[in-house]
Amino acid sequence: MRWTSGSALLVLALAISACSPAPQSDRGPTSEQARNEPPAAREMTVDALEAPAGVAVTAAPGVAFNYHYAFSLPAERISAAQEEHAAACEKLGIARCRITGMRYQLLGEDRVEAMLAFKLDPTLARQFGKEGIAAIQKAEGTLVDAEITGTDAGAEINRIAVERARAQEELARIDRELARSNLPASERAELQRQRADIAQRIEAGRTATSEQRESLANTPMIFDYRSGRAIRGFDAGAPLTSSLDLLAASAQATLAFVLGAIAVLGPPALVLLIGLFGWRRFSPRLRRARPAQTAASD
């Protein structure tokens, strides 16, 4: 078989194109590109795939959250639910969860109000709240209110840092003025007063920064408990359930009114009855005795 010069050139071009590298647009990111990628972009990708729904710490960096949940459950189960939540916190250890407050109030025969306050590791707060809600549902209770508030502590820390830097510059300027030997006494006294004020502002800034960092390191969470209806076999908001509750409440109010009326009017009515019985018993004798007395006097 004879090869022409045109055929040889065609084969050589095909071989070169087959050995050439693939275009960069079709490839995935190289290791060098991955290293140069901003950390925020890499974290956003991981969070989008792994983070569950809701507010996560990585979704709002620099924000200090505050959790508040309110539960309604049968009065006789509030103490056990409160104890279960406290045990769950103690199980995490004091480095990740601390109980900061507790209250239990018996307000009536079937009325109880209670509270449990925690400080949690921010990365555990969301899951701890979900598990706390699950424990209430197992106790035939319901979540009636949930509030999650946030404060941009990171921005506040940056603002305080800028103010402290300006105050430090002003403090350095005043120190240079005070180092002058020919400074008048009145001006020196004024500069010393200004220096004391600036030093106080700097110290207040340090305290505020510590408080903001504390809010980022420990997330407050409060559980409020109150007695209420247990979960029944049908919706608690259904008309039948509402009618039964209204009937029970009306019967209790009626019984309470009757007992109160008996307590208030019972003693006077008893005295009146005794007096009426005595009058009917002794009045005939008195009427018979009067004619006899009249005849004897005549």
Which residue matches tokens 């009058």?
A: 279
pLDDT, average across residues 164-179: 91
pLDDT, average across residues 245-273: 80
Residue 106 lies in a domain: yes
Query: 177 CB contacts (<8 Å, ≥6 apart)?
Result: 183, 191
Instruction: Please identify, among 171, 195, 227, the residue that sits at the C-terminal boundary of a domain.
Output: 227
- Does 201 lie in the same domain as 80? no
∠ Cα 150 153 155 (to 5°): 115
- Does 223 lie in the same domain as 202? no
Give bridge partners of residue 150 from the DSSP assignment.
65
- Does 204 lie in the same domain as 73? no
Q: Identify the domain containing residue 128 by its residue range.
A: 63-152+219-227
Query: How many structural domains compose the chain?
Result: 2
- Does 69 lie in the same domain as 140? yes
Residue 79 lies in a domain: yes
Q: Which pLDDT score is estimated for 27?
A: 40
Residue 110 lies in a domain: yes
Residue 210 has pLDDT above 50, yes or no: yes
268 pLDDT band (50/70/90 cuts)?
confident
Q: At what angle do helices 153-178 and 185-217 cross, to 10 degrees?
A: 160
pLDDT, average across residues 211-219: 85
The CB density around residue 18, as the number of other CB atoms within 10 Å, is: 7
Separation of alpha carbons 277 and 236, rounded Å: 54
pLDDT, average across residues 275-288: 71
pLDDT, average across residues 82-93: 95
- Does 223 lie in the same domain as 136? yes
CA distances from 219 to 111, 222, 223 (A): 30, 10, 13
Residue 156 has pLDDT above 90, yes or no: no
- Does 170 lie in the same domain as 109? no
pLDDT, average across residues 227-239: 56
- Does 146 lie in the same domain as 174? no
- Does 98 lie in the same domain as 202? no
Separation of alpha carbons 203 and 197, rounded Å: 10
State pLDDT tens for residues 187-205: 989 999 999 999 999 999 9
Write out the two tokens for 175. 């120190």
pTM exceeds cut of 0.85 = no
Separation of alpha carbons 17 and 10, rounded Å: 11
Instruction: Please identify, among 205, 227, 249, the residue that sits at the C-terminal boundary of a domain.
Output: 227
Mark 239-275 as b/e (b = at least 16 C-beta within 10 Å).
eeeeeeeeeeeeeeeeeeeeeeeeeeeeeeeeeeeee
- Does 146 lie in the same domain as 75? yes
CATH number, position 133: 3.30.70
- Does 138 lie in the same domain as 82? yes
Residue 158 lies in a domain: yes
Residue 179 lies in a domain: yes
- Does 175 lie in the same domain as 70? no
Write out the two tokens for 283. 């009045």
∠ Cα 182 183 187 (to 5°): 165
pLDDT, average across residues 56-72: 80
Q: Which pLDDT score is estimated for 196?
A: 93
Q: At what angle do helices 122-138 and 75-92 cross, to 10 degrees?
A: 150
Q: Which pLDDT score is estimated for 144?
A: 93
Q: Which pLDDT score is estimated for 298?
A: 55
- Does 223 lie in the same domain as 131? yes
Query: For 55-59, 273-277, 288-292, which range has the lowest pLDDT when averaged over its residues?
Result: 55-59
Residue 96 lies in a domain: yes
Instruction: Please identify, among 198, 227, 256, the residue that sits at the C-terminal boundary of a domain.
Output: 227
∠ Cα 181 186 187 (to 5°): 60
Residue 290 lies in a domain: no
Residue 123 has pLDDT above 80, yes or no: yes
Residue 198 lies in a domain: yes
Candidates 204, 174, 188, 225; CA nearest to 69 is 225
